[in-house]
């Protein structure tokens, strides 16, 4: 894993690694890759809408969404790598010696830190998923209708990625062993996932309703 980034693998090679008995990549990396697919679909929908007279009134929005979505694909793939790296750190902490009280204390401290570190990439994945569904909601009714199902798929993937990443936050909470930090992280995670859900649902409602919307800056705040 030291020299390999998941983005450098073929889809087949990544799936093979995911299906193997190796501890990484795991669920956290899979969630981040799902997020990257969602962001890529947003970029595609934007690209299929730009330069078309029918969507000229949304040109400013489309010009912003495309680069933002492409940046998110890169961010998600980096998070997939980060998740694998921190899990390797957790495995290393588990293997620390624990013969003496001092060694036990060092090992326990390392495991607490590893649990906290292991929550970081999944939490950031959820944050990035919120950015994705914010883009899908903005594009819904303002982009190429022939690609509206792709926009809905992007929203669905982002919601699934957020829920999957949240599972990787929850599993690490007991290991943090600091009730205040764990409770704050739990509350922040649940609030973010809820917002991802609501925004994703709004995207699907607009897409399914076939609504055509005014330019974003023309709508009342």
Chain segment 163-214, per-residue pLDDT in tens:
999 999 999 999 888 899 999 999 999 999 999 999 999 999 999 999 899 9
Ramachandran region, residue 110 (left: φ > 0; alpha: ψ -120 to 50; beta: rest): alpha
Mean pLDDT of 131-141: 98
Percent of the chain exceeding pLDDT 90 equals 76
Class in CATH terms, 6-212: mainly alpha
Mean pLDDT of 134-155: 97
Question: Hey, is 143 helix, strand or coil?
Answer: coil
First to last CA, the chain: 47
Q: Which residues lie below 8 Å from residue 203, measured CB to CB, with a gap of 6+? A: 133, 136, 137, 140, 151, 152, 155
Angle 135-137-139 (CA atoms, 0-180°, nearest 5)?
70
Burial of 102 (0-12, 13-18, 19+ CB in 10 A): exposed
pLDDT number for residue 220: 42
Cα–Cα distance list, 90 to 1, 6, 123, 220 (Å): 15, 20, 17, 49
DSSP single-letter state for residue 54: G
User: For residue range 2-37, what is the model confidence (pLDDT) as tens digits?
Assistant: 557 999 999 999 999 999 998 889 999 999 999 999
In the chain, domain spans: 6-212
CA–CA separation, 151 vs 195, rounded Å? 18
pLDDT number for residue 221: 39
pLDDT number for residue 218: 62
Q: How confident is the model at residue 1 (pLDDT cuts 50, 70, 90)?
A: very low
Q: Which two tokens stand for residue 76?
A: 């998600």
State the pTM of this model.
0.91
User: For residue range 32-71, what is the model confidence (pLDDT) as tens digits?
Assistant: 999 999 999 999 999 999 999 999 999 999 999 999 999 9
Mean pLDDT of 101-122: 90
205 C-beta neighbours (distance < 10 Å), count: 13
Contact 132, 39 (CB under 8 A): yes
Strands (E), 177-218: none
Q: Count H helices, E strands: the chain?
A: 7, 0
């Amino acid at each position: 894993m030291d020299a390999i980034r998941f983005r450098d693998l073929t889809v087949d090679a990544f799936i093979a690694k995911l299906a193997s008995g190796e501890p990484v990549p795991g669920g956290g990396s899979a969630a981040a890759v799902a997020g990257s697919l969602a962001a890529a679909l947003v970029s595609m929908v934007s690209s299929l809408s730009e330069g078309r007279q029918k969507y000229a009134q949304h040109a400013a929005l489309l010009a912003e969404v495309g680069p933002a979505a492409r940046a998110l694909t890169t961010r998600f793939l980096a998070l997939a790598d980060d998740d694998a790296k921190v899990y390797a750190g957790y495995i290393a902490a588990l293997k620390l010696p624990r013969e003496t009280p001092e060694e036990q204390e060092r090992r326990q401290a390392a495991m607490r830190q590893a649990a906290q570190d292991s929550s970081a990439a999944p939490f950031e994945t959820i944050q990035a998923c919120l950015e994705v569904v914010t883009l899908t909601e903005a594009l819904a009714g303002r982009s190429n209708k022939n690609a509206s199902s792709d926009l809905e798929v992007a929203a669905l993937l982002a919601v699934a990625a957020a829920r999957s990443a949240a599972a990787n936050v929850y599993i690490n909470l007991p290991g943090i062993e600091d009730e205040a930090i764990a409770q704050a992280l739990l509350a922040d995670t649940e609030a973010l996932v809820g917002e991802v859900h609501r925004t994703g649902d709004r995207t699907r409602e607009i897409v399914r309703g076939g609504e055509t919307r005014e330019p974003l800056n023309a709508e009342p705040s």
